[in-house]
A and B are shown apart, each in its own frame.
Chain A
Amino acid sequence: MKNLIFLFLITSVITVQSQNVTREDKCFTCHEMLGDKPADLFKNDVHHLKGISCSACHGGDNTSDDIEVAMNRKKGFTGVPKGDEISEKCIACHANQNKMKSFGSNLPTNQYQNIKSSVHWRLALSGKEHIVQCTTCHNAHGIVSVKNPRSPVYPLNIPRTCSKCHSNEVFMRSFNPSLPVDQYQKYKTSQHGILNSKGDSKVAQCASCHGSHNILPVKDVNSKVYPLNIPATCSKCHSDVKYMKNYKIPTDQYTKFASSVHGKALLEKKDINAPACNDCHGNHGAVPPGVESISKVCGSCHALNAELFSSSPHKKVFDEKNYPECETCHSNHDIIEPTIKMLGVTQEAVCSKCHKETENKKGFLIARQMRELLERLEAEEKNAIKLVNEAEQKGMEISETKFKLKDIRQARLETRTIVHSFDLEKFKEVAEAKGLATTKIVIEEAKAAIDDFYFRRYGLIVFIFINSLLAISIFLYIKKLEKK
């Protein structure tokens, strides 16, 4: 009896195994014997290993070794799929959760949904098919898992895979002539690219920032690389302490940036002109700007400041001491809005880091005078605004004077720029000749308007008195006249 049960079990195991693995795929057998390349590639294809036959994509009868039967159109043989037919074959299984589970796969099944909204799903030049098919990135017969280094979408291979099209200017021009085609070249020079080429699969590659199936144009607000979204995209890795552990670089850049003047403008005010990470670090060629290039990077927006600094006495000293130009005073990720407190010789002023009464005295004196001038300008401006508002509230027509307040503000803003020349005379030209002089005029005009307001009221009293006196006289005259 025992022997009988053992024999039954052995037979059952053999039967089950033959159902899954040994069911022969006649298509593959023949084509492998013929030695054709697709069959050779398909040997290691994840689909072949899961027991999926050639006929799953090409149709036909995979049980027959008779070419007339196996590749009979009546039996559903379709041959090589063309255009969108390719993706349709993939979608048939990959968008179907139950089917995927039946093959023991836990892969997501939303790829089709994602790619439908992506930039790659636009129509190709023929107008009959979409720009990319699944096989464009994943290959056709040698498809392996994403985690397999042989996969074209394995992190180390992604840049090359994308570059096949994106570095082809003739191809790209057909779709978007303004799109650069040097991304791959730049990427190779970036810190990410260098590490990637050294076999570091953790560093960012195309899909890390742009996404994979759901790639959107940069101008799309939902794109991961839309200016407002870039800090969050970069911080996904760069703020992850665990992920960044081996790279030995700080992970607080996002927190600092978010509290900076740039971060507030970009993330709070949604001003897409404000710089995001890529504006200073580059995007495809991202590297930390070197000491010597910081002023160039900042100067691409703050051009005047950079120019003034370059011609100032500080330039030489900073170069000699190897100080990063803008960063030394303004910091980098956490640049706060510059206030008057930055200037001068108080403890919180940046000038006082190097200039003391006993050390570098000339700069100390200039910084002190600049601060005094600026404080005066700010105080006078406040007074001018107060007086203009008062005159306006009193109903006086003072729009022209009010307009001059803009000139004062402009002068005050200009001092923030001209201060980078570190030249007291130039600073005075703005703060005194422009700012304080206009402030004086505004204050005088506003005071005159307020005085005029009271003059009108006193004038009214005098007029009403005289006019009423006249009216009373006439009234009395009438009385006198009618008495007669």
Chain B
Amino acid sequence: MEKIIKSMYSWIDERLQLQDLVNFMGKKYVPIHRHSVWYYFGGLSLFLFIVQVVTGILLLFYYKGSADLAFESVQFIMSKVQFGWLIRSIHAWSANLFIFAIFVHMFSVYFEKAYRKPRELTWVTGMIMFFLALGFGFSGYLLPWNELAFFATKVGSDIAGAIPIIGEPIKIFIRGGEDVTGATLSRLFGFHVALLPGIFTMVLLIHLILIQRQGISEPMHLERFEGKEIKKMPFFPNFLLRDILFWLLVLNLLAILAVFFPPELGKKADPFAPAPAGIKPEWYFLFMFQTLKYLPANILFIEGEVVGIMLFGLAGILWLLVPFLDKKSSRGEENVLINYIGIFVVVFIIVLTILGWLS
């Protein structure tokens, strides 16, 4: 077996000079330390994105992006298309795991202060991808054109509409009109399968090139032991094989989730039907949704919801600009405030998500 593989490799190598690439990758090293486990979530996000692209393309073969046909086409995919149920189920679960992996990756980078100089742009591109991923989630949620998705999109775009001055144009831009209609579906379908993937791929490439150029960040506590040799492993094949091992384990999890908990389709959206009780957004929007629910009707003559949205907007901008605000970490000094803020944000998100889930 080994012989066959070797002869196949040398056959390709003779034609493509693969050995150069292997040598190049072999010279890339990944630090080994007690927090190395967090490195795998970047790779996992990439893997799940690929799963999304592949399953998304397969779904596109049968999905029809119009209000008259969307629901029926998803129904067709689930009941008539060979393994259609599996593809849709994997696409839906992989989307959730993708966003979860991004969250973990983002917070691990945050707590490790891996965004510090010279990796500010890597953080910014990562954050842009994070926002794009949320956009993927929001736009993809409506595509089955079922009751829950319809009203969740209505509520979601209403929240966007509450932003002062620019809110209304944003709402109309998202909806493609005054209300959530077939025009909204076509629009979000376009965003989901063309616009967002296009932008995402470009930003992802920049993100990967930056990592390639700058190498993988080492934790600050290791940097302080200057002179001491930091344990490292070659990216190829050692780290890549570990990455693949992790991907395979996640693939197992994905398969179990997809088979045992396939996403329900529910009822077809009816714009004239009353909104069903307990409309909730997807879990990754739940903490924001729940916070807005807790805010009083008015805060200092301003509508509570508007204040909430503005605060979340501000928090998002500050989070994006963390590498530029945290000068201390860039200088190699420990910034405890950043840790406290990070812990507060994580606890806030977890608690509010649980409360939203239970309500």
Contact = CB atoms under 8 A, between A and B. Distances in A.
Given A475-B245, A478-B245, A481-B238, A400 B259 contact: no
A351 to B, nearest CB: 43
A145 to B, nearest CB: 59
A399 interface: yes
A477 B241 contact: yes
Contact of A397 (B79, B238, B244, B255): B79
Interface string A453-474: 0001101100110011011001
A464 B245 contact: no
A397 B85 contact: yes
B242 interface: yes
Interface of A is mostly: helix
Most-contacted residue by chain B among A397, A400, A459, A482 (CB, 10 A): A397
A398 interface: yes
Interface stretch (B173-181, B189-197, B246-254, B277-285): B246-254
Given A460-B256, A463-B255, A478-B245, A399 B238 contact: no
A467 B259 contact: no
Given A400-B79, A471-B249, A456 B259 contact: yes
Contacts of B248: 467-468, 470-471, 474
A475 to B, nearest CB: 6
A142 B78 CA distance: 85
Contact of B241 (A400, A460, A481): A481
A397 B241 contact: no
A38 interface: no
A398 B264 CA distance: 12
A473 B245 CA distance: 9
Contacts of A481: 237-238, 241
B46 interface: no
A459 B255 CA distance: 10
B245 A397 contact: no
B291 interface: no
Contact of A400 (B75, B244, B249, B255): B75
A478 B259 contact: no
Given A397-B79, A397-B85, A398-B79, A474 B255 contact: no
A460 B259 CA distance: 7
Interface in B213-249: 237-238, 241-242, 244-245, 248-249
Interface string A15-38: 000000000000000000000000
Interface in B146-183: none
A467 B251 contact: yes
Contacts of A398: 79
A457 B244 CA distance: 25
Interface residues of A, number: 22
Nearest to B251: A467
Contact of A467 (B238, B252, B265): B252
Contacts of A464: 252, 255-256
Interface string A396-424: 11111000000000000000000000000
A395 interface: yes
A457 B242 CA distance: 28
A397 B252 contact: no
B262 interface: yes
B244 A474 contact: yes
A482 B256 contact: no
Contacts of B245: 471, 474-475, 478
B237 to A, nearest CB: 7
Nearest to A395: B262
B22 to A, nearest CB: 14
A460 B255 contact: yes
B248 to A, nearest CB: 4
A135 to B, nearest CB: 53
Contact of A478 (B241, B251, B256): B241
B75 A397 contact: yes
Nearest to B239: A478
A457 B259 contact: yes
Interface in B42-91: 75, 78-79, 85-86
Contact of B78 (A397, A459, A474): A397
A58 B213 CA distance: 114
B241 A399 contact: no
Highest count of chain A CB atoms <10 Å: which of B79, B86, B238, B256? B79
B45 to A, nearest CB: 19
A478 B236 CA distance: 11
Contacts of B244: 474
B338 to A, nearest CB: 34
B243 to A, nearest CB: 10
Contacts of A457: 259
A467 B86 CA distance: 16
7 contacts: A397-B78, A400-B75, A456-B259, A464-B255, A467-B252, A478-B238, A481-B237
By Cβ-Cβ distance, the 8 closest A-B pairs, closest first, are A397-B78, A471-B248, A397-B79, A460-B259, A474-B245, A478-B241, A456-B259, A464-B252
Interface of B: 75, 78-79, 85-86, 237-238, 241-242, 244-245, 248-249, 251-252, 255-256, 259, 262, 264-265
Given A397-B265, A478-B245, 9 more contacts: A396-B79, A397-B85, A399-B265, A456-B259, A459-B259, A468-B248, A468-B252, A471-B248, A481-B241
